[in-house]
Chains A and B, each alone.
Chain A
């Protein structure tokens, strides 16, 4: 048999590599130095761009890698809870947002050491939405506004609402916050706004990790690289699709069992400590009844952080999680306030996909106050 003959019937040898490949293969010698020089220059350019962006950020907002390296860190590991909380008793100002921290490492007023009879103490546990990522001052967050509202309605009572929201917290950290930091303060009521940070895990699962997480750990770009962050944030439209099923992950295929287990564990921990809980559902600015372009614009932050889902996928993901929060809370007899229904979508109430604007914070505070009082969730 003619070994050179291509068996499908065409005579002759396989065609050699294309001329383009031959050209690539025959690049002249002596180019090593040129390649190394080009690589060094490219690395220098990338470094210069990054430095320029960091300097600009430092000048404009007072926040950059230099702050992290030279100034006091904003977040520190709290020795009592083991959680990464805000640096206690500090004032940080960046991008026009002033964060005043108390001795517990929270964006909240100092918790009174002694409670007067008949006083109310509430806590709100959550992540950046609770902490008030875009609120210019502590007083503008919805936990602070809730406190103001209750004080206004009950001027004779001592009212405290502890803001126990920390940027980046997921359910596990929120449970630890609830048990280790809030429970010892013996609040009359603890409101849990779970936030969406647990959703990020679904995209990490989809991102090239080995089967069932059996792969070895991988390097990735550090999150403080401003050039990458800026580029990615401003080009979300290139990487995500407006049409249905454009995501790389099917939201219906996401198992919510780990989320359910975490919710159950949080409730169990609270019950064991005699804590009274209220859950809220998670609200977002984009709604199905909005025009597609508006949904795309409003969902940009979510599509940036939860990039393995398309727009429809995010709707489904939020709906499934909110339904689960309702189901689990109802099973345990815990009241649920449906913020996803009570806060209308759009720019008026949201600063981005899921963080509230000032008007949104006020609306949430009022809705919470009304709910708590109507349900008589606080002691007489």
Chain B
């Protein structure tokens, strides 16, 4: 069930009504758990077993860890949970990559091996619900999270429908207390939840899908057919497509949660304002990068133990690999990890020399923002291309400076310019507009809703899934 579908709107509306009618926390949580599994099973009922398995193994492992003071026993159950969760993730997501790599390695050594590839279908959202459930066990192991006494509540935390497919990856301490509590339900939640849902819907349908259909998909499908400037614009368009797509999904997830009385963390903070690659990762998909920071980078020693630069590169390699198996994602992680490490080295050197920090405004700052965006946008060619060879072909087509076709659809150009403008307009202006919208009377809201409904219906292709579903 897609977030941008009539079915989802009816689903949320019904659930909203039913949860408000629930008199007890137990009744509400039972209802939400059943609804969350129903939501997931709309995609594929078979893989609901995987969510249940992840929930069971992490719930019981965490209990064993929490009730034991024996370090070996605690480590054993942590290993069980990690092996269970990461084992399944590895099997579904990385098995074929490792088989292919192994076969290539044997071939390189002069041995031929006809290794059969597995016919696997990636369960949607597996990276998200695996990490979400593991974060709980890891926090319990670190004694940063009390054990959850109710399996039902824990299962709801793992399968909670707004987050199960594409995040935001929530931590147990963020959502379990809300599940276990009676929940506060101030009336303004409805307004703000609805506004978030509409905003997410607009981001997805009016921006991400339009940019994808008219600019990105054609350019990446056959780079040799287009002029270099069309390819460059498509690279920028992809950056806005992926931002609007994932942040749109996050808005809708947060909006739907808020309607039901739950608050989810935000995941984006104007990422293309970043004046360094490090800053970009502070602003981009923060719940995902925060997971790697807390559970991998710190575990490796962070900046206190070992070599911080190596730790950073390893962490970013894992971030690249988290998206999918493949050398292009490894290279993507390597590029970003190396740049973040380089920035850290330069900053440390600057501090050691007693130089002032880099300016956060003015022309020098604007140039840095521009350059960081180029790095982010062009490194995403790896992300979007079919494989490494495809990414190379794309870059070659740009470098060749060919003057082929440049079929800019007016609607796509307009949406790209609008996306850029909305991103770079200072927050005080958008705040003002939101306030103006909020103050309008109900008939104006209604007229806006009708216009938005028709506009989005006209633009919606209905076929473009959210980009992060495949991860």
Which A residues form the contact surface with B (CB < 8 A)?
1, 6-10, 14-15, 17-21, 23-32, 34-35, 37-42, 44-46, 49, 203, 206-208, 210-212, 214-216, 218-221, 227-228, 231-232, 235, 238-246, 248-249, 307-308
Contact = CB atoms under 8 A, between A and B. Distances in A.
A49 B303 CA distance: 63
B275 to A, nearest CB: 11
Given A9-B343, A28-B188, A42-B453, A248 B442 contact: no
A24 B434 contact: yes
B146 interface: no
B253 to A, nearest CB: 14
B302 interface: yes
A35 B191 contact: yes
B458 interface: yes
Interface in B430-468: 430-431, 434-435, 438, 441-443, 445-447, 449-450, 453-454, 457-465
Given A7-B303, A41-B446, A215-B45, A248 B298 contact: no
Contact of B446 (A26, A42, A244): A42
Contacts of B283: 15
B279 interface: yes
Nearest to B453: A46
B187 interface: yes
Nearest to A28: B188
B464 A17 contact: no
Given A9-B278, A15-B269, A216-B42, A27 B192 contact: yes
B278 A211 contact: no
B324 interface: no
B237 to A, nearest CB: 13
B278 A212 contact: no
Given A211-B121, A241-B214, A244-B222, A8 B41 contact: no
A220 to B, nearest CB: 6
- The A contact surface, by secondary structure, is loop
B347 interface: yes
Nearest to A246: B218
A31 B286 contact: no
B168 to A, nearest CB: 12
Contacts of A238: 210, 411, 458-459
B69 to A, nearest CB: 23
B187 A235 contact: no
B449 A38 contact: yes
Given A42-B449, A208-B462, 9 more contacts: A10-B279, A27-B195, A30-B187, A35-B445, A38-B443, A38-B446, A46-B450, A241-B214, A241-B218
Interface string B337-363: 000100110011000000000000000
Contact of A231 (B47, B434, B457): B457
B310 to A, nearest CB: 13
B195 A20 contact: no
B44 interface: yes
B7 A246 contact: no
A308 to B, nearest CB: 5
B450 A214 contact: no
B214 A7 contact: no
Nearest to A228: B457
A163 to B, nearest CB: 34
Interface string B158-189: 00000000000000000000000000001110
B114 to A, nearest CB: 25
B66 interface: no
B449 A218 contact: no
B278 A24 contact: no
A8 B124 CA distance: 30
Nearest to B343: A9
Interface string B1-44: 11001110010000000000000000000000000001001111
B119 to A, nearest CB: 11
